[in-house]
Amino acid sequence: MSNVGLVFQFLLVNNLVLFYFVGICPALEYSRDLRSALSFSAVLLFVLVLTAMLVWFMDSFVLQPLGLTMIRTFVLLLSIAGVAQGLALGSDRIGGAFAAIMDEYLPLFAANCAVFGLSLILVEMNLGIGEVIAAGVGAGLGVMLVLVLLSAIRDHMESEWVHPAFRGTPIVIISAGLMAMAFHAFDSFFLSGLF
């Protein structure tokens, strides 16, 4: 599959939130308004691509050649925490609005299940560096799409009548389930035929 096909596969079919169900907690938290959905998912996109490249490098050039794949999970967790800490230190030096956004969200990414889940998925898929970058971009854009759609649904639900038992998180989870079924229509065979 081409890199463009891989982007669309992780954007629609293998969406981290709706297919793998990793990252559902931040999706529920940061989909309350459009601004927080966009800012969180933009930082997540950046972190996903950066950690995907680092994890690919660590696995391809350190763990597999040395026969240390049994400690892969530990190394992946340390790599993700290192990326989050390095970005936090780097954003403090830059300052401004960028640093404020990074300082708000970066502590979440050191233990974010979406970042760790994508790392495990990509290691198991055994892809090249270009494919890893494409998958990271697609996964980040997929999370962004879900957060924006959920924020729009939440905004619309505030003006609609919803049974009191379903207000808040329950209706968001039901909406996410319906979106997952809709996204499932873009199966891998359909996308592989296009790209």
- What is the pLDDT confidence band of residue 141, given thresholds at 50, 70 and 90? very high
The boundaries of the domain holding residue 91 are 3-194
Query: First vs last Cα of the chain: how many Å apart?
Result: 7
- How many structural domains comprise the chain? 1
Torsion of CA 124, 76, 1, 135, to 10 degrees: 140
Q: What mean pLDDT comes out for the span 9-25? A: 87
CA 40 to chain CA mean position, Å: 10
102-133 exposure pattern, b = at least 16 Cβ within 10 A, e = fewer: beebbebbbebebbbbbbebbbeeebeeebbb
pLDDT above 90: residue 97: no
pLDDT at 133: 94
pTM: 0.86
